[in-house]
Structure 1
Amino acid sequence: MKRRTFLLALGGGLAAAWWLKPGDQGGPHGAYFQPYNTLFRDSGPGRPLLFIDRQRLAANCRRLQQALPPGRAYRIVAKSLPSVPLIREVMAQTGTDRVMVFHQPFINAMAEAEPGCDLLLGKPMPVRAAARFYEELPEDAGFDPDRQLQWLIDSDARLQEYLEMARRLGRRLRINVEIDVGLHRGGLTEPRQLDALLERIAAHPRHLAFAGFMGYDAHVGKLPDLVESRDTSLRKAQAVYQSFIDRLYQVAPELREQPLTFNGAGSPTFTLHGDETPLNELAAGSCLVKPSDFDVPSLKDFEPAAFIAAPVLKALDGLTLPGPLPLGDAWALWDPNRRRTYFIYGGYWKAEPVSPPGIRRNDLYGASTNQMMHNGSPATELLPGDQLFFRPTQSEFVLLQFGDLAAVSEHRIQAWWPPLPQGEGA
């Protein structure tokens, strides 16, 4: 290779390397998080906490109501908002008393805390869990499960188990049937499968009553458009749902006069349902606090309303990694966003750092639930006692990890909201 050609190639390589070199993405907390940094640093509990922005929550509730098709009801998904006061807040903002529950201790907690609520199971419960609900329900709770609770049934075999329980307990169970509208996670797959369930329910009117359908359409919009468009997937799901309704009224026309529940949707899809939907109520929960897994086009108008604040325990210059080689020094030299090291109180949550800008966890150092390492540029300006803020990727598990939730508004802690109980062994 000629010297000139070599120098040109070397120069091109260096230019390309310089082009790939990370820029400084750091900065101090912005206008939204800086007041919360001051609040939790000076008046917080000195440990990681999860806070709910009540103003953003209320705005998201208004957006949800505006998106509901006319004449349709809204049902709160408790697993995504797992706190009685948080659910009460959403009830007040949306005017609904309908709640979907997925965990036996949650069923009991809601029945006792809100005895006027209407509960629908979001998944089929083992019959032992259903029986435990009745065992733990106080006689003076004021909640009537024979009128206010719908058990989800996905097969005739499970319906038989529930019938035996109803006979043993002397109860009349309201039965909601799970149907598969395309998610393929269980439930009836063909309308004719409904016949056996309806026959069994009709044969035991003292212990069973048909209450409706639940068909979850979380698969809508998940396939690449090249395979199937979102609109096509939604139309197919709605057609399947309607076919079950048609079969229901064909086999049991007397049920046309009953107030049945035709539940479906979910946070990613409820805004897609319009006047044509066969549903008479739509369920959603996560969209109201909007963790990052719900950054989807259908929820573009919703705002994140739940964040983690974790105190910085140690703030160090540079990046020192274990081992004999100066890998940390080289890494920090290459990437200005690795030139400051922060060890925080706790970590390794289903969450990503969101403030100050440019903060990144250090996966090479390793994950820790005790003192997680994060790096940033010197422009992040954090000191011990300052807060590093995270946005959860999902809500249903993360909101249960921090004890009482801090309900905030206008940069003040207004209340502490306890999470729903997990139960023994949870």
Structure 2
Amino acid sequence: MKRRGFLIGLGAVAAGGWLLRPGNQGAPHTPYFQSINDHLRNASPGRPLMLVDQQRLVRNCHTLKAMLPSRCALRIVAKSLPSVPMIQTVMRETGSDRVMVFHQPFMNALADAEPGVDMLLGKPMPVQAARQFYNELSGDFDADPQLQWLIDSRPRLDQYLQLAIDLDRRLNINLEIDVGLHRGGLTDPSQLDEIISLIQAHPAHLRFSGFMGYDAHVGKLPGFIQSAEDGHRETEAIYLHYIERLYQLAPAYRNETLCFNGGGSPTIGLYDDSTTVNELAAGSCLVKASDFDLPLLANFEPAVFIAAPVLKQWDGLNLPGPIPLGELWQRWDPNRRQTYFIYGGYWKATPVSPAGIRENSVYGHSTNQMMFNGSPDTALQVDDQLFLRPTQSEFVLLQFGDLAVWQDGAIQDWWPPLTQGDGA
């Protein structure tokens, strides 16, 4: 190639690349976050906080109630709302005393705080965890009628039968069925035969209480493979086969009040009064972390945010090392022209205000002082707050101590999170 042609080609590439430069995405805090920021500049304890917008939480409860099929009760998912006062708020606003629990320390805390609660396990627990629950049980919670243990196999049922004999209790047994998620549970209705037979052979210690079929897979496949509506119809058909098999084995169950639990926040909008189930589980939609920005949940509002104080702020981007990468990068991208280090970081969360803020993955992640960049238009200063939105609630809400309850323009309360114990 001749030199002149090469230079022309190089210039064209450079011009084309310049046209691909990122635009300025920065903007100051929205009025909603600015009001929280102004309050926290004067009233913050000076550390990262998990904020719960109580008014949004309450509105989400009412939205959820309005979309429930009339034949379905609500089962509140505790792991998505891991604070007793938060669960109590949801119980009050939805009128439901049914809670799905996933962790033994949470079970005991909830039984102590709400002795009238109706509990269903959301996953099969090691029998040692069940024994520990009974060892720690105190107060007025009546476990025999108010608690359903989730059983996924005959061997686990044998373990729970022995526990019931040892404790001289009658355990309610809810059977996990695989409706397409393929994460465990019974895989064929014929497996009910020996399980129901065993339960009925020990009426003093076991009682069949229903089914739980979780459908988190629905809507996850690309639409050209299977639509959410088709996936939902498929799970409903599978569920119905288990109920039909149950009634064939023991017709008397038709006259009993059984728990046929299904659903979840991502799929709850697919259910109507033609559904096979009689109760639906939901929790995450009530705080709406970003993983739940789904069309079916469009009417729910984000209600939890991390507020992280800005510790350091300066113009430009200065990265370690001999190459002036930071200088070149901030010239190329106007959203890298301000540098911020926050208190903490590396949470399962993404920046939400000010607009245009983003982490610096080249500098690296830090749980101590995380680097973020933005344009000068973010107008963020030291002692301001960077607001992040959790991607999910069940783990992230447990990382900040007491939850700061935001209502009517101020922090009005502090809600303690449920204790983790030795892990969740």
Q: Aligned residue for 1:333? A: 331
Using the TM superposition, give the Cα deviation of residue 7 of structure 1 relative to its aligned residue in structure 2, in angstroms.
6.3
Query: What is the distance in 2 between the residues matched to 1:325 and 1:419?
Result: 46
Query: What is the distance in 1 between the residues matched to 2:287 and 2:306?
Result: 12
Q: Aligned residue for 2:175? A: 177
Structure 2: runs of 5 or more not aligned: none
Query: What is the distance in 1 between the residues matched to 2:177 and 2:352?
Result: 39
Q: Residues 8-38 of structure 1, C-alpha deviation per residue, up to 9 Å, x if partnerless?
A: 5445323311221111111111111000011
Q: Aligned residue for 1:146? A: 144
Query: What is the distance in 2 between the residues matched to 1:303 and 1:11?
Result: 48
Query: What is the distance in 2 between the residues matched to 1:401 and 1:328?
Result: 32
Q: Aligned residue for 1:12? A: 12
Q: In the alignment, does 2:39 pair up with 1:22?
A: no
Q: Aligned residue for 1:162? A: 160
Q: Aligned residue for 2:272? A: 274
- Map residues 344-355 of structure 1 onto 2, 5 A cutoff: 344-355=342-353
Using the TM superposition, give the Cα deviation of residue 97 of structure 1 relative to its aligned residue in structure 2, in angstroms.
0.3
Query: In the alignment, which of 217, 232, 255 is matched to residue 230 of structure 2?
Result: 232
Give the SS at the match of 2:32: coil
The total of aligned residue pairs comes to: 424
Q: In the alignment, does 2:424 pair up with 1:419?
A: no
| Residue identity matched to 1:288 | L
Larger displacement relative to structure 2 (118-127 or 274-283): 274-283
Query: What is the distance in 1 between the residues matched to 2:325 and 2:40?
Result: 35
Query: What is the distance in 2 between the residues matched to 1:278 and 1:314?
Result: 56
- Map residues 27-426 of structure 1 onto 2, 5 A cutoff: 27-138=27-138, 141-424=139-422
Give the SS at the match of 1:33: helix
Query: What is the distance in 2 between the residues matched to 1:7 and 1:362?
Result: 34
Give the SS at the match of 1:107: helix
When residues 112 and 283 of structure 1 are mapped into structure 2, their CA distance, relative to the original with a 3 A threshold, is same
When residues 68 and 425 of structure 1 are mapped into structure 2, their CA distance, relative to the original with a 3 A threshold, is closer
Query: What is the distance in 2 between the residues matched to 1:283 and 1:257?
Result: 24
Larger displacement relative to structure 2 (408-417 or 106-115): 408-417
Q: Residues 173-226 of structure 1, C-alpha deviation per residue, up to 9 Å, x if partnerless?
A: 000000000000000011110111110110101100010000000000111122
When residues 425 and 54 of structure 1 are mapped into structure 2, their CA distance, relative to the original with a 3 A threshold, is closer
Query: What is the distance in 2 between the residues matched to 1:116 and 1:408?
Result: 28
Moved over 2 A (4+): 1-15
Query: What is the distance in 2 between the residues matched to 1:125 and 1:274?
Result: 31
When residues 7 and 327 of structure 1 are mapped into structure 2, their CA distance, relative to the original with a 3 A threshold, is closer
| Residue identity matched to 1:407 | V
Using the TM superposition, give the Cα deviation of residue 424 of structure 1 relative to its aligned residue in structure 2, in angstroms.
3.9
Identity %: 65
| Residue identity matched to 2:210 | G
RMSD: 1.3
Using the TM superposition, give the Cα deviation of residue 410 of structure 1 relative to its aligned residue in structure 2, in angstroms.
2.4
Query: What is the distance in 2 between the residues matched to 1:208 and 1:69?
Result: 31
TM-score, normalized by length of structure 1?
A: 0.97
Query: What is the distance in 2 between the residues matched to 1:99 and 1:425?
Result: 20
Structure 1: runs of 5 or more not aligned: none
